[in-house]
């Protein structure tokens, strides 16, 4: 059997090469994304509590779709912080106890303290962007994909579940009809676009926050920031 690849490389910590440039671009995309959301009439008809619940749950995938649409490229560098192996070897050489291994945060749970994304986490984002660009997704297709992501009826705590489920279904139907009309020779395109959505689900929102917002505003409370931006006239 072929040897399995060592996962160590994917655990290396990486940072943005030009954080000010990339973070500024991401901030501009977030403003555009929330403006897009606010301009969806069906979204405005929902109670404010439902609006906030939806946005809090999907701001990261919507932002990534916006970054793909605006062709924002990520240039990263490996962090200078020592690896776990380096710290263990150094500690042993000096006769100290090796540092305890920090437990990995559970999926969906926030990271505590500064957290540089790993190479694997960054590669997932880059892979998503590359997939979008390879499909040359149109403005309308991006809009329908954003609608599918935004109107998620499976969130706990929603009251207007059936209405939101109907909106998500409408977004998917509109996407399907658009693809059939514009890409008649590509019967697999609708499925390919749904692969894009599945890639989005594998990317942790905490990683997106740490990567794009911590370098410029420090400790990030995305809930507070989203509430402020959503209630403002963008």
Alpha helix (H) residue ranges in the chain = 8-11, 19-38, 41-44, 48-69, 84-93, 119-135, 139-150, 161-182, 189-201, 205-212, 214-217, 222-231
Closest-CA residue to 84 (of 13, 172, 168, 162) = 13
What is the distance between the alpha carbons of residues 1 and 121, in angstroms, rounded to a whole number? 28
DSSP code at position 13: B
Q: Give pLDDT, residue 168.
A: 97
Residues 6+ apart with CB under 8 A from 46: 54, 160, 163, 164
Mean pLDDT in the chain?
82
Q: What is the pLDDT of residue 106?
A: 43
**Regarding the domain delimited by 12-93+116-232, which CATH topology (the fold level of the hierarchy) does it fall under?**
Retinoid X Receptor (1.10.565)
What are the pLDDT digits (tens) for 171-191?
999 999 999 999 988 889 999
CA atoms lying within 13 Å on the CB side of residue 168: 16
State residue 73's pLDDT score.
87
pLDDT of 112 reads: 38
Q: What value does the mean pLDDT take over residues 82-102?
A: 56
Residue 67 has pLDDT above 70, yes or no: yes
**Rounded average pLDDT over 9-14:** 65
pLDDT given at position 86: 55
- pTM, two decimals, is 0.78
What is the band of 79 on the pLDDT scale with cuts at 50, 70, 90? low
Residue ranges per domain, the chain?
12-93+116-232
Polymer length in residues for the chain: 234
Q: Three-state SS for 15?
A: strand
Phi, psi of 77 (to 5 degrees): -130, 150
Tell me what percent of the residues of the chain surpass a pLDDT of 70. Answer: 76
């Amino acid at each position: 059997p072929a040897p399995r690849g060592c996962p160590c490389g994917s655990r290396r910590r990486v940072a943005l090469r030009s954080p000010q440039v990339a973070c500024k671009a991401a901030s501009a995309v977030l403003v555009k994304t929330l403006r897009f959301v606010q301009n969806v009439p069906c979204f405005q008809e929902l109670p404010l509590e439902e609006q906030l619940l939806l946005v809090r749950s999907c701001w990261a995938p919507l932002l990534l779709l916006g970054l793909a649409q605006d062709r924002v490229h990520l240039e990263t560098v490996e962090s200078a912080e020592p690896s776990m192996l380096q710290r263990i070897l150094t500690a042993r050489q000096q006769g100290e106890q090796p540092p305890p291994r920090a437990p990995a945060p559970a999926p969906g749970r926030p990271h505590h303290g500064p957290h540089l994304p790993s190479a694997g986490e960054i590669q997932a984002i880059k892979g998503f962007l590359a997939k979008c660009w390879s499909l040359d997704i149109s403005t309308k297709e991006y809009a329908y994909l954003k609608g599918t992501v935004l109107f998620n009826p499976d969130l706990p705590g929603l009251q207007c579940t059936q209405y939101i489920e109907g909106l998500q279904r409408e977004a998917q139907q509109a996407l399907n009809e658009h693809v059939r009309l514009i890409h008649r020779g590509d019967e697999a395109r609708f499925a390919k676009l749904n692969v894009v959505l599945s890639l989005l689900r594998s990317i942790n929102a905490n990683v997106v926050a740490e990567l794009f917002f911590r370098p410029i505003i420090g400790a990030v409370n995305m809930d507070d920031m989203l509430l402020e931006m959503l209630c403002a006239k963008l």
